[in-house]
């Protein structure tokens, strides 16, 4: 039985109105009366005809969904706030997104531009990489489980997720997932892997850019047979996204595009480029050679000098005081022997004479001529 509007869950979450319905439950817009914020509450609706074993399996799967989602902190993974067990069934409290599912967008707008699809795929792939790093397999990537806002694409519904190291709650011989988005190796009985999620992502992006499912009007068995036989995948609107889809939808998971290269190719298409364009190597930045200052005492620049003259005066070594030559002025002074300059001082004086006009020479150098 579905909960009525206004129902108070766990004495905290007030159900306001349903925002989405599925075969196994309803998603409500609710108000968290403790923190005074809006949240989304997923109500699991269990049919009364189910036996106790199936009921316990669905409840365990819902609890696993909340636990798996809470393990991952990523902007493209829905955030789970709480898991509540009430009325003999679990409820999941999540962030409320003002968004439409990718399936609803395709139904309303038709085929989407390749650049927009590439950007959505890039964000969802980032979510899958974060999920796989935690040892979680989503196993149900499809357009209805991708929510799209103005600037975010968010992966939701981890109800079929498999956690590494936990015992499977699925009965043997049963393949869980949505027809048209299950990887071929899973249909053939192989164990799920991160590569299977990437195939489902490729099928999701194909549906978004082509406006129709990968199987088209064929049955799932006929479509799988066509893919296994090597029949090329028809693409008419994919444009620059076609190489990415072709590499993600390969039958053999060992030759399928990995997440790192797929992320790079999707980023290129989203930026308006080609998925297969080579990377432009960056030019190595050469370190700037620093000159070692000479080991002499620097003389502070005088305020009244020009900048160039002050710089030359500061860099030039101090010269000995020079007396006037005989005959200069009214009084004759004793002429002292002028000490010889060092090799560095002579080199510095030569450089200043060659590079600077005479008016910028240091005072001692102008006196020397």
Could you list the active site residues? Answer: 140
162 with 137: CB under 8 angstroms?
A: yes
User: What's the rounded Cα separation, in Å, for the pair 224 and 221?
Assistant: 5
Annotated binding site for ATP: 42
333 with 324: CB under 8 angstroms?
A: yes
Helix (H) or strand (E) holding 19: strand 13-21
> Which residue in 187, 163, 167, 193 sits closest to 175, CA to CA?
187
> Which tokens in the block code for residue 16?
């306001």
Contacts of 282 (CB under 8 A, 6+ apart): none
What is the residue whose two structure tokens read 């009921």? Answer: 55
Annotated binding site: 42
Handedness of CA 166, 169, 170, 171 (dihedral sign): positive
Phi, psi (deg, nearest 5) at residue 31: -120, 125
> Which tokens in the block code for residue 58?
């669905």
What number of residues does the chain have?
A: 369
DSSP result, 148-211: E-SS-EEE---TT-EETTSPP-SPTT---S-TTSS-HHHHTTPPP-HHHHHHHHHHHHHHHHHS
Handedness of CA 138, 67, 100, 97 (dihedral sign): negative
Contacts of 129 (CB under 8 A, 6+ apart): 259, 263
Q: Residue 27's beta-bridge partner residues?
A: 20, 42
> Which tokens in the block code for residue 188?
């053939």
Query: Angle, nearest 10°, between helix axes 259-270 and 114-133?
Result: 150
> Which tokens in the block code for residue 139?
């196993």
């Amino acid at each position: 039985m579905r909960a009525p509007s206004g129902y108070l869950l766990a004495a905290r979450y007030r159900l306001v109105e349903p925002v989405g319905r599925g075969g196994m439950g309803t998603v409500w817009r609710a108000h968290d009366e403790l923190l005074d914020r809006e949240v989304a509450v997923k109500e699991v609706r269990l049919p009364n005809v189910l036996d106790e074993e199936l009921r316990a399996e669905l409840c365990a799967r819902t609890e696993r969904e909340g636990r798996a989602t809470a393990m991952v902190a990523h902007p493209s993974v829905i955030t789970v706030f709480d898991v509540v067990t009430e009325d003999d069934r679990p409820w999941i409290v999540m962030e409320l997104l003002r968004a439409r599912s990718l399936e609803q967008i395709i139904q309303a707008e038709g085929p989407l531009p390749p650049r927009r699809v590439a950007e959505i795929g890039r964000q969802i792939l980032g979510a899958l990489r974060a999920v796989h790093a935690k040892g979680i397999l989503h196993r149900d990537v499809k357009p209805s489980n991708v929510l799209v806002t103005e600037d975010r694409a968010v992966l939701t519904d981890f109800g079929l997720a498999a956690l590494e190291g936990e015992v499977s709650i699925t009965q043997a011989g049963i393949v869980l997932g949505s027809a048209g988005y299950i990887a071929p190796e899973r249909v053939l009985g192989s164990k799920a892997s991160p590569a299977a999620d990437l195939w489902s992502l490729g099928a999701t992006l194909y549906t978004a850019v082509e406006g129709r499912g990968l199987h088209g009007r064929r049955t799932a068995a006929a479509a799988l047979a066509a893919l296994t036989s090597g029949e090329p995948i028809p693409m008419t609107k994919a444009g620059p996204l076609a190489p990415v889809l072709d590499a993600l939808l390969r039958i053999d998971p060992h030759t399928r595009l990995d997440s790192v290269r797929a992320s790079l190719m999707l980023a290129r298409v989203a930026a308006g480029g080609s998925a297969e364009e080579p990377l432009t190597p960056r030019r190595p930045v050469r370190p700037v050679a620093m000159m070692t200052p000479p080991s002499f005492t620097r003389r502070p620049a005088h305020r009244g000098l020009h900048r160039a003259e002050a710089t030359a005066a500061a860099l030039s070594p101090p010269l000995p005081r020079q007396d006037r030559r005989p005959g200069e002025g009214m009084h004759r002074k004793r002429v002292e022997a002028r000490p010889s300059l060092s090799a560095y001082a002579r080199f510095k004086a030569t450089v200043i004479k060659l590079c600077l006009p005479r008016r910028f020479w240091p005072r001692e150098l102008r006196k020397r001529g």
